[in-house]
Amino acid sequence: MSTKNGTNQARTSRDVGSELIYLTKALKTPALRDAAARLAERARDEGWSHKEYLAACLQREVAARDSHGAEGRIRAARFPSRKSLEDFDFDHQRSVKREVIAHLGRWTSSPERRT
């Protein structure tokens, strides 16, 4: 049976940094690995709960996966060049309404869409 001091000593003798590196590699969560230390420091400074810290870590990973997933789909599509809504020539395609496209562009990039 371990005492309170024995338990604390066991916790501190463990190399948590190496364990996190191993676990994030095993789970294939590189964004979490890169952000965990910075978020832990911020969580300490701002008094976050464990749940708030975990949510922030997972949000970073989800955002990275969303970003990389979109990049992968664009590469897989093999478009001849990359264009944005700002590059679209509305004068050439007069049937497309600029206001509608601008509205849709704001909606697809908004964070509310992901909730």
pLDDT tens by residue, 31-62: 999 999 999 999 999 999 999 999 999 999 99
Dump pLDDT digits (tens) for 94-112. 888 888 888 887 866 555 4
Range with top average pLDDT, 2-6, 49-53, 90-94: 49-53
Q: CB burial class (10 A; 0-12, 13-18, 19+) of residue 88? A: middle
